[in-house]
């Protein structure tokens, strides 16, 4: 974390949430849907509730913003007893995102995002400024999308708007109930990456519900594995749960081949990011060409990578606009090495471009870096069965050598 108050971007804005012996029995039911849950959710972390359908994840989550009132127990948010607060006020301070964004179909994207700020009686100009800022934050062009209706958006775009709406009044706490459950796997992976990127900037307290353990491993700072009636079977970091499942039920849920998840646990930001020459679309061609040894990256006016180019591409052209080749898959600093590996194998440069906050260019990650990382991971795991070689199927990968990792 930054000690400099000027760089407050990485300071924690979230607050701690404590569930203490919380239970819920729905009216007319004999058995509680949630029985005696106690959990502390640290400020500024993503805690994922993962468990099978019917295990009471949604019920537990909705007790935090009091869409459901607990039958017994206490919930403390940022040191205040949630049950003693006005329920409407409480809900305005907690962002809530659900599957398919939960958008109001008769409202435009902008109107959807403005719902809570309007309830809070913000001035019109402030609301419109905030809507623009949020659309930008979740990667949607405000001019293009602000006046559309939800039905005119793809599932992934609706989901982004749902996240923007949940963030509208800058709440310290965000509740997300299977928010990416209804989109295709590729979009889902992208949205997960974007959420992590956002969280690196925002540092809110996020409670995220899913029944997908891989999603939990990818997103969670901590994972609460929930059984029947939301009984907490294990509550720990993804690393600890993968290494030491508390019991057979958790083990079954984690699945076999946990060692393979190694690459899912390391992030692009954990390894060496290299640099390539960059230029903006309006820059001088000859000057850029002179700086390129192998290949370089062309950025748009918001520093987002758009295309890559080698020197041959630049022969005889007068402008960098449209030159070179489109970038394939891009990863973010928060992406897993597994994602990076897949992206690299799909690129003919044997490298993939890395972006940071708001899609801005950060650098590139190369196959050499990944091979080195995989090697050192293996060495750390000597004595354990070696992890399968994820590169074995690919032709264009250097033969393993006997030399050790570079670092």
Contact residues: ligand ADP, CB under 6 A:
26, 29, 33, 51, 53-59
Pick between residue 57 and residue 165 the one whose CB is nearest to ligand ADP.
57
Interface of this chain with Mg ion, residues 44 to 63, rule: CB under 5 A: 58
d(CA 91, CA 62): 10
Q: Which does 315 bind (CB under 5 to 8 A by kind): ligand ADP, Mg ion, none?
A: none
User: In angstroms, how far is CA 189 from the centroid of its own chain?
Assistant: 8
Binding mask 1-40 for Mg ion (x = CB under 5 A): ----------------------------------------
Q: Which does 305 bind (CB under 5 to 8 A by kind): Mg ion, ligand ADP, none?
A: none
Pick between residue 227 and residue 359 the one whose CB is nearest to ligand ADP.
227
Pick between residue 206 and residue 297 the one whose CB is nearest to ligand ADP.
206
Phi, psi of 11 (to 5 degrees): -75, 150
Instruction: Please tell me whether residue 292 adopts helix, strand or coil conformation.
Output: coil
- The distance of closest approach from Cβ of residue 313 to ligand ADP in the complex, given in angstroms and rounded to an integer, is 52
Listed in sequence order, the residues at least 6 apart from 244 whose beta carbon sits closer than 8 Å to its beta carbon are: none
d(CA 84, CA 87): 8
- First and final CA of the chain: distance in angstroms? 25
Interface of this chain with Mg ion, residues 361 to 380, rule: CB under 5 A: none
Q: Specify whether the CB–CB gap between 158 and 150 falls below 8 A.
A: yes
Q: Which does 55 bind (CB under 5 to 8 A by kind): ligand ADP, Mg ion, none?
A: ligand ADP
Closest-by-Cβ residue to Mg ion is 58
Q: Which does 33 bind (CB under 5 to 8 A by kind): Mg ion, ligand ADP, none?
A: ligand ADP
- The distance of closest approach from Cβ of residue 123 to ligand ADP in the complex, given in angstroms and rounded to an integer, is 38
Pick between residue 208 and residue 288 the one whose CB is nearest to ligand ADP.
208
Phi, psi of 90 (to 5 degrees): -60, -45
Residue with tokens 């760089």: 7
Q: Specify whether the CB–CB gap between 186 and 339 falls below 8 A.
A: no
- The distance of closest approach from Cβ of residue 35 to ligand ADP in the complex, given in angstroms and rounded to an integer, is 11
Phi, psi of 142 (to 5 degrees): -55, -40
Task: Report DSSP letters for 123-150, one per residue.
Answer: -HHHHHHHHHHHHHHTT--HHHHTT--G
- The distance of closest approach from Cβ of residue 174 to ligand ADP in the complex, given in angstroms and rounded to an integer, is 17
Q: Specify whether the CB–CB gap between 22 and 36 falls below 8 A.
A: yes
Q: Which does 245 bind (CB under 5 to 8 A by kind): Mg ion, ligand ADP, none?
A: none
Pick between residue 58 and residue 338 the one whose CB is nearest to ligand ADP.
58
- The distance of closest approach from Cβ of residue 56 to ligand ADP in the complex, given in angstroms and rounded to an integer, is 4
- The distance of closest approach from Cβ of residue 353 to ligand ADP in the complex, given in angstroms and rounded to an integer, is 38
Instruction: Please tell me whether residue 205 adopts helix, strand or coil conformation.
Output: strand
- Which tokens sit at 35? 């029985």
Pick between residue 33 and residue 174 the one whose CB is nearest to ligand ADP.
33
Evaluate the CA torsion angle 208, 212, 216, 218 in order and state its sign.
Answer: negative
Pick between residue 53 and residue 402 the one whose CB is nearest to ligand ADP.
53
The DSSP symbol for 402 reads S
d(CA 189, CA 212): 12
- The distance of closest approach from Cβ of residue 46 to Mg ion in the complex, given in angstroms and rounded to an integer, is 18
- The distance of closest approach from Cβ of residue 182 to Mg ion in the complex, given in angstroms and rounded to an integer, is 13
Pick between residue 58 and residue 199 the one whose CB is nearest to Mg ion.
58
Q: Specify whether the CB–CB gap between 208 and 46 falls below 8 A.
A: yes
User: In angstroms, how far is CA 105 from the centroid of its own chain?
Assistant: 26
Q: Which residues sit at the interface with Mg ion, rule CB under 5 A? A: 58
């Amino acid at each position: 974390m930054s000690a400099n108050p000027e760089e407050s971007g990485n300071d924690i804005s979230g607050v701690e949430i404590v569930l203490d012996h919380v239970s819920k029995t729905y009216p007319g039911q004999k058995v509680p849907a949630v029985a005696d849950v106690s959990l502390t959710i640290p400020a500024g972390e993503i805690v994922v509730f993962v468990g099978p359908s019917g295990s009471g994840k949604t019920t537990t989550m909705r007790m935090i913003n009091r869409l459901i009132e607990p039958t017994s127990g206490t919930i403390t948010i940022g040191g205040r007893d949630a049950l003693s607060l006005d329920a409407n006020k409480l809900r305005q301070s907690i962002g809530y995102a659900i599957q398919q964004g939960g958008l109001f179909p008769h409202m435009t994207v902008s109107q959807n995002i403005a719902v809570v700020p309007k309830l809070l009686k913000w001035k019109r100009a402030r609301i419109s400024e905030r809507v623009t800022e949020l659309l930008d934050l979740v990667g949607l062009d405000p001019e293009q999308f602000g006046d559309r209706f939800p039905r005119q958006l793809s599932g992934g775009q609706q989901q982004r708007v749902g996240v923007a709406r949940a963030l509208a009044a800058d709440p310290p706490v965000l509740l997300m109930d299977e928010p990416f459950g209804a989109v295709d796997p590729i979009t889902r992976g992208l949205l997960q990456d974007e959420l992590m990127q956002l969280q690196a900037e925002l540092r809110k307290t996020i409670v995220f519900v899913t029944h997908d353990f891989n999603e939990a491993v990818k997103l969670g700072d901590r994972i609460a594995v929930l059984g029947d009636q939301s009984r907490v079977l294990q509550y720990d970091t993804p690393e600890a749960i993968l290494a030491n499942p508390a019991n057979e039920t958790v083990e079954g849920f984690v699945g076999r081949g946990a060692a393979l998840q190694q690459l899912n646990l390391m992030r692009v930001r954990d390894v060496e990011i290299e640099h390539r020459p960059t230029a903006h679309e309006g820059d001088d061609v000859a000057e850029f060409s002179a700086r390129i040894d192998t290949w370089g990256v062309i950025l748009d006016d918001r520093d987002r990578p758009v295309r890559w180019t080698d020197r041959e591409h630049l022969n005889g052209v007068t402008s960098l606009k449209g030159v070179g080749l489109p970038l394939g898959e891009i990863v973010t600093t928060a992406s897993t090495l597994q994602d990076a590996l897949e992206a690299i194998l799909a690129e003919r440069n044997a490298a993939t471009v890395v972006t940071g906050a708001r899609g801005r260019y950060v650098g590139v990650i190369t196959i050499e870096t990944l091979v080195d990382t995989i090697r050192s991971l293996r060495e750390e795991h000597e004595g354990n069965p070696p992890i399968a070689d994820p590169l074995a199927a690919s032709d264009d990968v250097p033969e393993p050598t006997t030399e050790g990792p570079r670092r």
